[in-house]
Amino acid sequence: QPVASKKTTRLRQMLEGQGLSFLMEAHNGLSAKIVEEAGFQGIWGSGLSISAALGVRDNNEASWTQVLEVVEFMADATTIPILLDGDTGYGNFNSARRLVRKLEQRGIAGVCMEDKIFPKTNSFLRSTAQPLADIEEFAGKIRAAKEAQTDSDFVVVARVEALIAGHGLEEALKRGEAYRKAGADAILIHSKERHADEILAFKKEWGDRLPLVIVPTKYYRTPTDVFREAGFKIVIWANHAMRSAITAMQATVKQIFQDEHLMNVEERVAPLADVFRLQGENELEQAEKAYLPRG
Ligand code: SPV
Ligand code: MG
């Protein structure tokens, strides 16, 4: 399949094409660039990671326009599509459809919205105590989001939290079906189990009604071929750029604090040349030659 020019089209092809695709988490322009350089075909704009990088909790403490600013930097820094973790859509159907319009304007390829209540809490915290959205209300939100998009390839993923919240397979399937009927392009079926049994059971019952997206943060030991053979379309590596940044920064900062010099870290941190390259410094040097008066 030839590579489409529009980011929205490319994200859609990952969902609708053959085989399994991957989205790698990024949380700012720099990490987004690093994800693209590694060879990934798409980016997960993780709510958890963006919040953590801003120094706040994953409870909508960052406002939706603050998230929009971050994801705009990510889109500007890269050429691959971004699927934004849009939490609950930051309010009701009206907030969700306005979000879709703003994301389209800023070059984001799609949004994922979860069937919880604003303000949300991360799925891995106090999960069984988390109230789910009313199924009809959330279906209306998905319908509003789909009807708001102007680019027909913009992707709206509906995220089912029923398994996370402890409501079981039947409720998860019922919700998935309601969101499919509302026009969702794909279902993200989330799980906090340490093995893949429940998402595999979901896939078996679901069949091929819509493409399925998964986030194996907790069931990370499951071989990727299990997902591929089961027929999932997208795997999201949801937070590992942010977590590796924490590990690296902690080690470096601690070392400098202890040593009161830089000799033990210089060889272990990215050279400044790498920073300038990632910033696209070279392009500006060329542009200065082209546009500034010679003199
Ligand atoms: C995120 O990356 O913010 C997600 C995935 O929504 S999870 O943290 O697993 O809920
Ligand atoms: Mg999230």
Please give the number of the atom of ligand 1 that sits closest to the Cα of 218.
Answer: 9
Q: What number does the ligand 1 atom closest to the CA of 123 have?
A: 10
Give the global pTM.
Answer: 0.97
Quote the ipTM score: 0.98
pLDDT band at 87 (very low <50, low <70, confident <90, very high): very high
Instruction: Kindly tell me if the per-residue pLDDT of 90 is higher than 90.
Output: yes
Q: So which residues are the catalytic ones?
A: 58
Under 8 Å between Cβ of 165 and 118: no
The predicted pLDDT at position 48 comes to: 98
Any idea what DSSP says for residue 132? Answer: B
pLDDT score for 130: 85
What pLDDT score was predicted for residue 255?
A: 98
Percent of the chain past pLDDT 90, that is, above it, reads 94
52-67 residue pLDDT tens: 999 999 999 999 999 9
Can you give the pLDDT at residue 129? 77
Residue 146's pLDDT is 98
Q: If you measure from the C-alpha of residue 144 to the centroid of ligand 1, how many angstroms do you get, rounded to a whole number?
A: 23
Inform me whether the pLDDT recorded for 127 exceeds 80. no
Helix, strand, coil percentages (3-state) for the chain, rounded to 5, are 50, 15, 40
- The mean pLDDT value for 240-261 works out to 98
Cβ(172)–Cβ(189) below 8 Å: yes
DSSP state of 290: H
Mean per-residue pLDDT, 76-96: 98
Q: What is the best residue among 44, 67, 83, 85 to mutate for testing ligand 1's pocket, by most ligand atoms within 8 Å of CB?
A: 85
pLDDT at 1 exceeding the cut of 70: no
Res 99: pLDDT: 98
Residue type at position 97 = R
Task: Give residue 67 CA to ligand 2 midpoint distance, Å.
Answer: 12
What is the spatial distance between Cα 93 and Cα 145, in angstroms, rounded to a whole number?
7
pLDDT confidence of residue 153: 98
Provide mean pLDDT across the span 259-272: 98
Confirm if 146 and 158 have CB atoms less than 8 A apart.
Answer: no
* Residues 175-187 pLDDT 10s: 999 999 999 999 9
pLDDT in tens, 128-176: 778 999 999 999 999 999 999 999 999 999 999 999 999 999 999 999 9
DSSP 160: E
> pLDDT class for 230, splitting at 50, 70, 90?
very high
Rounded-to-integer distance, Cα 184 and Cα 110, Å:
11
Residue 123 has pLDDT above 90, yes or no: no
Mean pLDDT value across residues 25-42:
98
Residue that is written with structure tokens 């500007």 in the block: 76
Mean pLDDT of the chain: 97
- According to the model, what pLDDT value does residue 148 have? 98
Rg (CA), the chain: 20
Enumerate residues lining ligand 1, CB below 6 A. Answer: 46-49, 85, 122-123, 215, 217, 238-239
Q: Do residues 147 and 131 lie in contact, with contact meaning Cβ atoms separated by under 8 Å?
A: no
Q: Identify the pLDDT of residue 295.
A: 75
**What whole-number distance in Å separates Cα of residue 167 and Cα of residue 244?**
33
Provide the Cα torsion 90, 163, 223, 157; round to 10°.
Answer: -30
Q: How far is the CA of 88 from the centre of ligand 2 (A)?
A: 9
